Amino acid sequence: MLQRILAFSTAFLFVSSLSAAPLPDIKMPDNGLPFQLIDGYQDYKIVATHWRIDKHELRYVLANPIAYKALQNKQKPLPEGSKMVKIGWSVKPMTAYSDALEADKLQRIEFMVKDSNRFDQKGDHWGYARFVKKGDSYAPYANGSAECVACHASVAPNDYLFTTFQPTF
């Protein structure tokens, strides 16, 4: 029995690692940040969830190991190489329990990367990128990153981050 369970879970791990499709080779139009810069982001840790009332969108914010450690230690600004990723989904009522909502379609993946050599927008050392999902494929956000910089400037004292570390205990 144990052998069977082991064989099954090994096969499952093998299949699941194979099924993680590579990220598309696309870049932000203005700053050239590639989607592939966050390769492996599915393994980053979730630090917060948000609900955007006006857009009816569920959002998860994830941090790469560098950013996660700094956030945990309340270290601001975040160190070089920090990456913050945001995933947005539409929602739908659960089939089995319609008073509960669940994530429906993945609508966007966006990220911020701390890179002082490349980015210095009035003290904001983050590069911004957004990739919008339509059907099965992604497209870089055509308006570019200027609006990201402008809006995130309103939270400059928090290292340009809206997210605060969300307790899980």
Residues that bind ligand HEC (CB under 6 A): 50, 52, 59, 61, 84, 86, 110-112, 128-130, 141, 145, 147-148, 151-152, 161-163
SS3 31: coil
**Cβ-based nearer residue to ligand HEC, 44 or 128:** 128
Characterize 5-21 residue by residue with b for buried, 16 or more Cβ atoms within 10 angstroms of its Cβ, and e for exposed. eeeeeeeeeeeeeeeee
Q: Could you tell me the smallest distance in angstroms from the CB atom of residue 1 to ligand HEC?
A: 45
Can you tell me which residue has the tokens 């009522």? 93
Neighbouring residues of 59: CB distance < 8 A, sequence distance ≥ 6: 49, 50, 51, 52, 86, 87, 88, 89
**Cβ-based nearer residue to ligand HEC, 23 or 161:** 161
Q: What is the four-CA torsion angle of 150, 153, 159, 165, rounded to 10 degrees? A: -80
Q: Could you tell me the smallest distance in angstroms from the CB atom of residue 143 to ligand HEC?
A: 7
**Cβ-based nearer residue to ligand HEC, 7 or 32:** 32
**Cβ-based nearer residue to ligand HEC, 13 or 139:** 139
